[in-house]
Amino acid sequence: MSRVIYITDDHYEDYQVYRFEFHELSKLGINNEVWNISTLKNDGKEAKIKTEAHLKEEIAVNSFQDIESLLNKLYSHDLVIIGMPIDDYVLKVLYLIELKSVHYAYLMDTHNIPNHLTSPFINTLKLHVKKIVNYLSKSKKYNKYPIPDYVLFASAKHGLDIHKQYLEYLRVLNSKIYILHSYDFNQMKYISGVRAISYPYFVFIDQYMPFHPDNRKYENSFEPAQYYNSIAIQLERLCELTKTQCIILLHPKSKGEELQYIKEKMTCVHGDTAGYIKNSDFIVGQFSTALSYGVIFNKPIIFIKSLGGPKYVNSYSNNFAKYLKKRAVFIKNNENIKSLLSINKKVYQKYINNYIKSDNSLDCSYSELVQNIIKYQMNNSSYEDNSIVLK
For residue 108, name the pLDDT band (cuts at 50, 70, 90).
Answer: confident
More confident residue, 377 or 13: 377
pTM: 0.77
Please give the distance of CA 361 from its chain centroid, rounded to a whole number: 17
How does pLDDT run across 294-329, given as a tens digit for each residue? 999 999 999 999 999 888 889 889 989 998 999 999
How does pLDDT run across 58-84, given as a tens digit for each residue? 567 777 777 888 888 888 888 888 875
pLDDT of 189 higher than 90:
no
Establish if 272 belongs to a structural domain: yes
Establish if 192 belongs to a structural domain: no
Q: Determine the structural domain holding residue 56 and report its residue range.
A: 3-182+357-386
3-state DSSP call for residue 218? Answer: helix
Same domain for 162 and 300? no
Residue pair 165/133 in contact by the 8 Å Cβ criterion:
yes
More confident residue, 41 or 155: 155
Q: If you average pLDDT over residues 134-147, what whole number do you get?
A: 55
For residue 246, name the pLDDT band (cuts at 50, 70, 90).
Answer: very high
Distances in Å between the alpha carbon of 94 and those of 98, 130, 146, 148?
A: 6, 20, 6, 9
Establish if 364 belongs to a structural domain: yes
Q: How is residue 116 annotated by DSSP? A: G
Confidence (pLDDT) at 280 = 93
More confident residue, 287 or 284: 284
Same domain for 334 and 239? yes
Establish if 280 belongs to a structural domain: yes
Confidence (pLDDT) at 262 = 82
Same domain for 177 and 29? yes
CA angle 49, 52, 57 (to 5 degrees): 105
More confident residue, 293 or 373: 293
Same domain for 364 and 333? no
Distance between CA atoms of residues 270 and 268, nearest Å:
7
Confidence (pLDDT) at 192 = 60
3-state DSSP call for residue 174? Answer: coil
Same domain for 230 and 261? yes
For residue 219, name the pLDDT band (cuts at 50, 70, 90).
Answer: low
Question: 100: domain CATH number?
Answer: 3.40.50
Same domain for 142 and 263? no
Question: 328: domain CATH number?
Answer: 3.40.50.2000
Establish if 347 belongs to a structural domain: no
Cross-strand pairs, 178: 152
Mean pLDDT, the chain, whole residue set: 77
- C-alpha Rg value of the chain to the nearest Å: 22
Same domain for 167 and 236? no
Confidence (pLDDT) at 119 = 41
pLDDT of 353 higher than 90:
no
Same domain for 223 and 134? no
Same domain for 211 and 177? no
Q: If you average pLDDT over residues 111-116, what whole number do you get?
A: 56
Lowest mean pLDDT among 170-179, 204-213, 292-301, 359-368: 359-368
Same domain for 238 and 215? yes
For residue 333, name the pLDDT band (cuts at 50, 70, 90).
Answer: very high
Phi-psi domain of 289 (left: phi exceeds 0; alpha: psi -120 through 50; beta: other): alpha
Same domain for 215 and 163? no
Distances in Å between the alpha carbon of 71 and those of 67, 87, 314?
A: 6, 19, 46
Establish if 391 belongs to a structural domain: no
Q: If you average pLDDT over residues 102-108, what whole number do you get?
A: 81
pLDDT of 239 higher than 90:
yes
Q: What total of structural domains would you count in the chain?
A: 2
Percent of the chain with pLDDT over 90: 22
Residue pair 298/348 in contact by the 8 Å Cβ criterion:
yes
Q: If you average pLDDT over residues 243-255, what whole number do you get?
A: 90
Establish if 352 belongs to a structural domain: no
More confident residue, 100 or 331: 331
Same domain for 11 and 149? yes
For residue 259, name the pLDDT band (cuts at 50, 70, 90).
Answer: confident
Establish if 52 belongs to a structural domain: yes
For the chain, report the end-to-end CA distance as a whole number of angstroms: 31
